[in-house]
Amino acid sequence: MQALLQDVRKNRAIYLMVLPVALYYIIFKYVPMYGSIIAFKDYSIAGGIWGSKWVGWMHFRDFFDSYYFVRVLKNTVLISLYQLFFGFPAPIALAILLNEIRKKWFKNLVQTISYLPHFVSLVVICGMIIDFTSREGIVNTIIEFFGGQRSSLLGNPDNFRTIYVSTQVWQELGWASIIYLAALSGINPDLYEAARVDGAGRFRQMWNITLPGLIPIIMILLILRIGGMMEVGFEKIILLYNSNTYETADVISSFVYRKGLAEANDYSFTTAVGLFQAVINFILLISANRLSNRFSGSKLW
């Protein structure tokens, strides 16, 4: 304890910088865990958390036995896998391509254009998606030009996942590439010089120097992505889906929102669903970290 106090006095400026972040996580991440108790209770606002009746695993059993369980679990897993397969490699490829560009003005232009969607309000983005995919939208105009027929694309359940994932990749492609560009700037330029002396072309340099230099950060971000696979953001889902597309669009987070706030106000049941989601994410995170450490040597802890 004495050593800790001495370290705090010695590095008080650093601890003051860390304090707001630590307080944020304590107040908004750890303290709310106390409310998870209501997943095991028949919660009522009048009785409060401790005044409500214990029901044990009842809400979990109700969720597992319900029609919605298979549907929301399937949709969550499929959308997460699509984002992992298509969304995760995309910023890596963009960062490598940008790293190969020698015209600085063109590189800056591409970066600016690719970053813009990240800073546009999600409501605006979803409004654009709805307009573009409507029967009179630009996407249908292109489809009709090539001989297809106009249709309400977002009204078709078969189209929802494709539209959601492709627009998500578009939104985050540029912003997600920043961390890879930062990692690329840390690769020793002497390695490229030595490779050129040995006769290696641009592709061989990329394959033998650039990609190995990115592997540690790729694995760390992959672990984090796998650890959040069950957590598909509900905001965009809710802004895009409708009752016709619940079959393929309804995920765990949107189901929790709808049942917990918008329709039934069943706080205990939706807390149980959210707790189930968090436990699965925790298991995936631990498993991904162990597998990454075993096969690549990179790990979070």
pLDDT digit of tens for each residue in the chain (301 aa)?
Answer: 778 788 888 888 888 998 999 999 999 888 888 888 889 988 888 778 888 888 889 989 999 998 889 999 999 999 999 999 999 999 999 999 888 888 888 988 998 999 999 999 999 999 999 999 988 889 889 988 888 888 888 888 899 999 999 999 999 999 999 999 988 888 888 888 888 888 888 888 888 888 888 888 999 999 999 988 888 878 899 899 888 888 899 899 888 888 877 766 788 888 899 899 989 999 999 999 998 888 887 888 7
Question: At 42, which helix (H) or strand (E)?
Answer: strand 41-42
Model pTM? 0.86
Shortest CA distance to 114 belongs to which of 97, 132, 135?
97
Interatomic CA distance for residues 290 and 250, integer angstroms: 31
- b/e burial code for range 189-217 (CB count within 10 A of at least 16 → b): eeebeebeeeebeeeebbeebbeebbeeb
Interatomic CA distance for residues 206 and 213, integer angstroms: 10
Question: At 225, which helix (H) or strand (E)?
Answer: helix 211-227
Neighbours of 97 (CB within 10 A): 13
**DSSP label of 88:** T
- Cβ(94)–Cβ(118) under 8 Å? no
Interatomic CA distance for residues 239 and 253, integer angstroms: 13
**DSSP label of 187:** S
Q: Is 54 helix (H, G, I), strand (E, B) or coil?
A: strand
8-13 contacts: CB < 8 A, separation 24 or more? none
Residue with tokens 């630590």: 22
Interatomic CA distance for residues 301 and 290, integer angstroms: 9
DSSP bridge partners of 42 = 53
What confidence score (pLDDT) does residue 264 get?
66
**DSSP label of 47:** T
Q: What's at 30, amino acid-wise? A: Y
Residue with tokens 């965009």: 236
Q: Is 7 helix (H, G, I), strand (E, B) or coil?
A: helix
